[in-house]
């Protein structure tokens, strides 16, 4: 599943739209930050792209009605919020395997059926949502706000509370701005924010804070050792790079593993077909990530999973392997490796 992107500059330019003084570029400059906003709202990279594209189309079609009483940015955020609220209406919330049941033994009998895409939180490439130009502190905060655990926790909130919390706590909008965007009162915004904070306090686990804000030299070396061990399939060595209580998840399966020993057992057992894989570094959800390519019987290596790696201190805290090859296109990754 991939989002269809319409090239707005090539859409028919209506005279009434031009009379408003707005051009497609006035909307397009907000695409990246809107994608981040919609991703936090929806928990899906695919749906976030679709929501932003729908926002752009609606904004362009309604541009003749833009009266200039608010900034263009506020206006497109209002449209994006309405798009997300429409998409969330009647939906079951997205989750991660760790919310769907207890950890399992390293036995494929516990894999269970493939979950539909609309039930699990999907990853997103950093370069689609993080600001291009930001100081280190701002960038660190932005990364924290797209961590898998935080995005999953957001899905516990009612849709409007979710919008309030993201706009106020993540994007730092004033309560008056949020009230105007949602056509409500400041008192209602503040009340929604208080309830949202309370819900997050109950649902957010220590896992949400397990990844350090920035990579240091030791952690970069840790990742180099991980890649080396994985590509050589030296599982005993790989296990030493994990925390004793490390977890491994494999959406779209609900099964997940807890403990470095179980992870090693899985890799040497049911996961043995990953032997000979190649990893290509990327970044997702504010974390280091790798595109895993398994040996293709026809030659070379074929896409298999996107691994989002969360680090705590000097070892790896979790390996999140998303077994959805359609993600590779959204990350701008090769569709095949020839060697």
Residue 102 domain flag: no
In this structure, the answer to whether residues 141 and 257 fall within a common structural domain is: no
Whether residues 49 and 198 fall in one domain = yes
Instruction: Give the other-Cβ count within 10 Å of 242's Cβ.
Output: 21
Structure tokens at 62: 């309604």
Q: Do 158 and 298 have their domain in common?
A: no
What's the 3-state SS for 98-115? HHHCCCCCCCHHHCCCCC
Local structure of 305: helix, strand or coil: strand
158 and 307, same domain (yes or no): no
Residues with Cβ within 8 Å of residue 40, at least 6 apart in sequence: 145, 146, 151, 154, 162, 166, 170
Pick from 97, 115, 146: nearest CA to 321:
97
Tell which of 169, 189, 207 closes a domain: 207
| Domain termination residue (choose one: 207, 242, 273) | 207
Same structural domain, 161 and 304? no
Q: What is the 3-state secondary structure (H, E, C) of 63-86?
A: HHHCCCCCCHHHHHHHHHHHHHHH
From CA 155, how far away is CA 292, in angstroms rounded? Answer: 28
Give a yes or no: residue 306 inside a domain: yes
What is the pLDDT at residue 215? Answer: 80
Residues 223 and 154 in one domain: no
**Domain for residue 199, yes or no?**
yes
How far lies 201's CA from each of 80, 110, 150, 165, in Å? 27, 31, 11, 13
Q: Is residue 223 part of a domain?
A: yes
The answer to whether 302 and 336 have CB atoms below 8 angstroms apart is: yes
Q: Is residue 335 part of a domain?
A: no
pLDDT for 45 equals: 96
Using DSSP, state whether 88 is helix, strand or coil: helix
Query: 161: Cβ–Cβ under 8 A, 6 or more apart, which residues?
Result: 192, 193, 195, 196, 199
- Claim to verify: residue 81 and residue 175 sit in the same structural domain: yes
Which residue range is the domain that position 265 belongs to? Answer: 217-330
Shared domain for 59 and 158, answered yes or no, is yes
Q: Which residue has the tokens 């206006």?
A: 75
Q: What is the mean pLDDT for each group of 10 consecutive residues in the chain (339 residues)? A: 45 43 78 97 97 93 68 92 96 93 95 93 97 90 96 97 97 96 97 96 61 76 98 98 98 97 98 98 98 97 98 96 97 95
If we measure between CA atoms, which residue out of 26, 18, 24, 34 comes closest to residue 71?
Answer: 26
* 65 and 187, same domain (yes or no): yes
Where does the chain have alpha helices with state H? Answer: 15-19, 24-28, 31-42, 45-61, 72-88, 97-100, 126-129, 136-144, 148-154, 159-165, 175-182, 186-203, 217-232, 235-239, 260-268, 327-330
| 20 plus 144 within the same structural domain | yes
Residue 141's alpha-carbon distances to 32, 127, 155, 170, 203, in angstroms, are 16, 15, 19, 8, 20
Q: What is the CATH number for 257? A: 3.10.450.50
Q: Are residues 15 and 152 in the same domain?
A: yes
- 276 sits in the region (left: phi over 0; alpha: psi -120 to 50; else beta) called left
Q: Supply the pLDDT for residue 6.
A: 44
In a domain, 212, yes or no: no
Which pair of tokens denotes residue 261? 């020993």
108's CB contacts (< 8 A; 6+ apart) are: 269, 270
Number of domains in the chain: 2
- Give the Cα-Cα-Cα angle 252, 256, 161 (nearest 5 degrees): 65
Residues 233, 321 within the same domain: yes
Q: Do the domain assignments include residue 111? A: no
Decide: 311 and 292 in contact? Cβ < 8 Å. Answer: no
Residue that is last in its domain, among 207, 241, 273? 207
């Amino acid at each position: 599943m991939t989002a269809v992107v319409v090239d707005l500059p090539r859409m028919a330019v209506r005279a009434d739209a031009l009379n408003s003084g707005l051009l497609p570029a006035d909307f397009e400059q907000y695409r990246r930050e809107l994608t981040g906003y919609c991703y936090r709202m929806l928990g899906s990279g695919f749906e976030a792209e679709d929501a932003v594209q729908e926002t752009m189309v609606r904004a362009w079609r309604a541009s003749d009605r833009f009266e200039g009483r608010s900034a263009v940015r506020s206006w497109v955020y209002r449209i994006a919020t309405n798009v997300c609220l429409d998409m969330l209406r009647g939906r079951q919330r997205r989750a991660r395997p760790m919310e769907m049941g207890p950890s399992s033994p390293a036995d494929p009998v516990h894999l269970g059926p493939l979950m539909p895409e609309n039930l699990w939180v999907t990853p997103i490439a950093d370069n689609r949502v993080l600001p291009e130009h930001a100081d280190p502190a701002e960038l660190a905060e932005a990364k924290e706000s797209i961590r898998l655990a935080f995005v999953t926790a957001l899905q516990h909130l009612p849709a409007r509370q979710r919008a309030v919390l993201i706009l106020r706590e993540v994007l730092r909008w004033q309560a008056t701005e949020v009230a105007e965007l949602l056509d409500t009162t400041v008192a209602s915004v503040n009340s929604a924010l208080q309830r949202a904070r309370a819900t997050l306090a109950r649902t957010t686990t220590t896992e949400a804070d397990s990844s350090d804000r920035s990579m240091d030299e030791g952690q970069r070396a840790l990742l180099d050792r991980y890649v080396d061990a994985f590509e050589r399939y030296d599982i005993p060595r790989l296990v030493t790079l994990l925390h004793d209580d490390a977890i491994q998840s494999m959406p779209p399966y609900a099964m997940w593993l807890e403990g470095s020993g179980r992870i090693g057992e899985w890799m040497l057992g049911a996961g043995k077909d990953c032997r000979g894989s190649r990893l290509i570094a990327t970044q997702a959800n504010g974390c280091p990530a790798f595109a895993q390519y398994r040996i293709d019987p026809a030659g070379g290596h074929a896409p298999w999973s996107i691994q989002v790696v969360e680090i705590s201190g000097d070892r790896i805290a979790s390996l999140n392997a998303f077994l959805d090859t359609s993600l590779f296109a959204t990350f701008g990754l090769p569709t095949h490796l020839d060697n």
